[in-house]
């Protein structure tokens, strides 16, 4: 019986000391071959400047959105709030490797341990902070699965601000605990499309049964933000500054992988807007773009909303109501409404402009899987590693399992040289699935 054997002492995970945590965010724009395309104004279709965004974002966020600096300092107050839950652990997935019978070494960075259950808090905190600093009293936002909504609710609660969340209706119904959690943190939550905005009312008039989309919810939140002086809008993914904030993930992971004595050959992250993929991958891609390392980075998305794998690379609006800037990205069209897949956080018609450009330029890759495939991967992961992944994160899990299965242990591996070829795989487990248990139940 295996359990009775004397195991060698294996290091299961690496944490970092508070003083080892990143003091800066990493901006990949500084290292990209080509500078990103400018944003266009939604009405005039002319390039926009900082002043055009000031109705919805605070100045410092706009500066970060447009910055070309490689490193941007993290304010001490934000570092302090990060320290309440960071570092996050980097695990070696020994038990998953054993179940798969693979020679690959699999590592994962787990971002679901904080109170809101996902990586979204990494950008919610600085966004709330910069708004507060500039006198904003209330933040409006949209949320898909509710991970972002929970995170911004908690961040505004930490900084004594108000919060109003438009939650895609299909997720609002599938994930009732998410609304309750946001309410505990004092936020107001509306299923979107709602009767609370002009765009919501218009949408419902045209289709009373509309189950919503991120594009619609964004329009509703932006509409409310532009109406008041002391209210601004916050976005949980897609934009440059959001991806920037998430680079604390990859920076920590680099140091943790070093402590494990390894470096990834391939990195996986699930991809909706793109922020968790960017968070884990960008700090490593710096090494690739600077010619220091070879590595692959794979963004994994749902077959039901396949912007990177099947969308067009072109200018498009970020929302359905055409209120947000036009940006160049892979898109399924701003009026695309995906089917009711459980991975509500990945139901976005477009993708981050930075992630899109890197895909277009061949720096990164993309894959897509069906809902059935990712739920089965999630179960396998839960039963080996003991953490139930969010449906969103399960896309990355599925990508990793596929990759690892290419390197199954076989007789004669040593002779054929297969042994050395087994890759080091790293992925971001962006959140837990404990609020998604009804979805798992339905798959039984």
The CB-of-214 to a second copy minimum distance in angstroms stands at 24
Tokens (6 digits) for 312:
């067009």
Stretch that binds a second copy, among 30-38, 229-237, 364-372, 378-386 (CB under 8 A): 378-386
Q: Is 427 in the site for a second copy (CB under 8 A)?
A: no
H helices within 175-306, ranges in order? 176-184, 198-206, 214-227, 240-260, 275-289
- Residue 20 C-beta: closest distance to a second copy, Å: 11
Helix extents (H) in 261-352: 275-289, 307-310
How would you classify the pairing of strands 326-331 and 312-317? antiparallel
Q: Residue 42 Cβ, how far from a second copy at the closest point, in Å?
A: 32
Site for a second copy in 192-211 (CB under 8 A): none
Does the protein bind a second copy through residue 386 (CB under 8 A)?
Answer: yes
Least Å distance, CB 418 to a second copy, is 28
Question: CB burial class (10 A; 0-12, 13-18, 19+) of residue 354?
Answer: buried
- Distance (Å, rounded) from C-alpha 366 to C-alpha 303? 11
Number of residues interacting with a second copy: please give it, by CB under 8 A.
54
Q: Is 382 in the site for a second copy (CB under 8 A)?
A: yes
Applying CB under 8 A, among 55, 101, 207, 434 the residue interacting with a second copy is 434
- Report whether 220 contacts 199 (CB < 8 A): yes
Question: Any contact of residue 349 with a second copy (CB under 8 A)?
Answer: no
Q: Based on the number of CB atoms within 10 Å of its own CB, is 195 exposed (0-12), middle (13-18) or buried (19 or more)?
A: exposed
Torsion of CA 420, 422, 424, 430, to 10 degrees: -170
Binding status of residue 76 toward a second copy by CB under 8 A: yes
Cβ-based neighbour number of residue 278 at 10 Å: 33
Which residues 147-186 are close enough to bind a second copy by CB under 8 A? 154, 157-159, 177, 180-181, 183-186
Per CB under 8 A, does 441 bind a second copy? Answer: yes
Which is closer to a second copy, CB of 218 or CB of 249? 249
Distance CA 67, CA 153 (A): 27
Residues 121-150 that bind a second copy (CB under 8 A): 129, 132-133
Binding mask 84-123 for a second copy (x = CB under 8 A): xx-----x---x-----------------xxx-x------
The helix (run of H) or strand (run of E) holding residue 329 is strand 326-331
Q: Is 255 in the site for a second copy (CB under 8 A)?
A: no
Q: Which of 62, 74, 63, 83 is nearest to 26 (CA)?
A: 74
- Output the CA torsion sign for 361, 30, 273, 296: positive
Q: Are strands 71-73 and 90-92 parallel, antiparallel or unpaired?
A: unpaired
Shortest distance, CB of residue 177 to a second copy, whole angstroms? Answer: 5
Tell me how far apart the alpha carbons of residues 310 and 121 are, in angstroms, rounded to a whole number.
30
- The total number of residues shown for the chain amounts to 444
The single residue among 46, 80, 207, 335 that binds a second copy, judged by CB under 8 A, is 80
Contact between 3 and a second copy (CB under 8 A)? yes
Name the minimum Å distance from CB 108 to a second copy: 12
Q: Which is nearer to a second copy, 86 or 288 (CB)?
A: 86
Is residue 23 involved in binding a second copy (CB under 8 A)? no
Neighbours of 363 (CB within 10 A): 18
Does position 314 interact with a second copy (CB under 8 A)? The reply is: no
- When the beta carbons of 209 and 444 are compared against a second copy, the nearer one is 444
The answer to whether 31 and 286 have CB atoms below 8 angstroms apart is yes
Does residue 360 interact with a second copy by CB under 8 A? no
Give the interface with a second copy as residue ranges (CB under 8 A). 1, 3-4, 6-7, 9-13, 15, 17-18, 76-77, 80, 83-85, 91, 95, 113-115, 117, 129, 132-133, 154, 157-159, 177, 180-181, 183-186, 379, 382-383, 385-388, 432, 434-435, 437-438, 440-441, 444
């Amino acid at each position: 019986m295996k359990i009775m054997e004397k195991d060698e002492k294996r290091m299961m995970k690496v944490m970092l000391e508070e003083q080892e945590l990143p003091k800066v965010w990493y901006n990949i724009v500084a290292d990209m071959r080509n500078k990103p395309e400018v944003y266009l104004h939604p009405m005039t279709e002319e390039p926009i400047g900082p002043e055009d965004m000031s109705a919805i974002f605070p100045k410092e966020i706009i500066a970060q959105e447009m910055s070309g600096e490689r490193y941007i300092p993290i304010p001490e107050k934000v570092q302090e709030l990060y320290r309440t839950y960071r570092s996050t652990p980097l695990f070696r997935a020994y038990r998953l490797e054993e179940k798969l019978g693979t020679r690959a070494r699999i590592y994962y960075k787990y971002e679901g341990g904080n109170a809101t259950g996902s990586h979204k808090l990494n950008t919610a905190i600085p966004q709330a902070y910069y708004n507060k600093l500039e006198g904003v009293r209330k933040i409006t936002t949209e949320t898909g699965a509710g991970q972002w909504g929970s995170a911004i609710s908690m961040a505004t609660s930490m900084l004594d601000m108000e919060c109003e969340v438009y939650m895609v209706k299909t997720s609002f119904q599938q994930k009732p605990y998410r609304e309750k959690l946001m309410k505990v943190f004092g936020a107001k939550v509306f299923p979107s499309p709602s009767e609370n905005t002009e765009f919501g009312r218009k949408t419902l008039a045209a289709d009373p049964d509309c189950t919503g989309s991120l594009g619609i919810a964004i329009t509703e939140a932006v509409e409310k933000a532009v109406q008041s002086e002391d209210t601004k809008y916050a976005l949980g993914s897609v934009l440059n500054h959001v991806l920037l904030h998430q680079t604390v993930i990859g920076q920590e992971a680099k140091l943790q992988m070093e402590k494990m004595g390894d470096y990834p050959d391939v990195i996986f992250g699930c991809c909706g807007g793109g922020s968790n993929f960017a968070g884990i991958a960008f700090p490593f891609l710096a090494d690739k773009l600077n010619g220091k390392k070879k590595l692959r980075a794979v963004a994994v998305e749902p077959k039901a909303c396949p912007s990177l794998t099947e969308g067009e690379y072109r200018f498009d609006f970020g929302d359905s109501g055409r209120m947000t800037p036009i940006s160049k990205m892979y898109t399924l069209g701003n009026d695309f409404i995906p089917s009711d897949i459980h991975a509500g956080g990945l139901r976005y018609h477009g993708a981050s402009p930075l992630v899109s450009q890197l895909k277009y330029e061949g720096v990164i890759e993309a894959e897509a899987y069906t809902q059935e495939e990712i739920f089965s991967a999630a179960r396998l992961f839960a039963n080996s590693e003991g953490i139930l992944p969010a449906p969103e994160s399960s896309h990355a899990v599925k990508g990793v399992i596929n990759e690892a299965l290419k390197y199954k242990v076989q007789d004669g591996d040593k002779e054929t040289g297969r042994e050395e070829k087994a890759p080091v795989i790293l992925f971001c487990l962006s959140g837990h699935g404990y609020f998604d248990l009804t979805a798992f139940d339905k798959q039984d």
